[in-house]
Amino acid sequence: MALTFYWYPKCGTCRKAKKWLDEHEIAYEAVHIVENPPSKAQLKDYYEKSGLEIKKLFNTSGQKYRELGLKDKIPALSEDELLEMLASDGMLIKRPILAGDAFALFGFNEEDYEKNL
């Protein structure tokens, strides 16, 4: 199973997830989410695999999210517009993302990692 791990090195949650993966000797391809954000098509795939509401894909505690006033804008936008927005800026995406063939996890929850790996 090929795993892709999108992360931001300055993010504490990302570092915690990376440490968990390393301690469990799980192989993955690390991708810097700001320098190489997932494409709109990848995000759509991850969104569908995650089973989450699309608004849960946003980094709601991020500065960029607040600056853009997205809390009020998200309900009025289409899924396509939201995916486009997420793909345009890695800082808007909830991180880390761990994506496998049949799943995509946003954020880090140890139980979810154990269940899927």
* Active site (annotated) includes residue 14: no
Cβ-in-10-Å burial (0-12, 13-18, 19+) of 77 comes to middle
Active-site residue among 11, 57, 93, 97? 11
Cα-based torsion angle of the residue sequence 11, 94, 36, 87 in order, rounded to the nearest 10 degrees: -150
Residue positions annotated with a catalytic role? 11
